[in-house]
Structure 1
Amino acid sequence: MSNIIAIIFDFDITLSPKFQQEVIFDDWGVEAKIFWEESAQKIAQGYDMEHAYLKTFIDYGKRDPKYALNNQT
């Protein structure tokens, strides 16, 4: 028996009709357009796209605990 766990994530809408992050936006009640605009501001500051949106997730969690991402949620 193996303890290997795989996580598959679709970053570029090849497997789903929307960005997978939108499930989180829906749960949080956040407009995707606003989230992506905030991420774009980070790209303008020098972040690449993946790090920009991950940093935006972190920033949301720092603003309000209801946005925190953890194993429970």
Structure 2
Amino acid sequence: MFTKNDLQSLGQNIVYLKPVLTADLPDDVRAQAGDLKTLFAVHNTMGEQVALVASQGIATHLADEHDMQLVTLH
């Protein structure tokens, strides 16, 4: 497991997930989320959100497709 500060020293091909309550998102995003209560924001090592996905499985697939490593952050 890594902290956010540790990630910056690891390189560019690392992403991490952050669960996001759908209720906390803008109206247009909530409308697209349907019945989902939680989405997952995918962040790069600089902390920038690069994607918002419906599941951890989708995030893993996207990371693999883009030669990125998905890590756990605490």
With normalisation by structure 1, the TM-score equals 0.30
Structure having the larger proportion of residues in helix: 1
Higher Cα Rg, which structure? 1
Structure with higher strand content:
2
Task: Please report the TM-score for the alignment, with normalisation by the length of structure 2.
Answer: 0.30
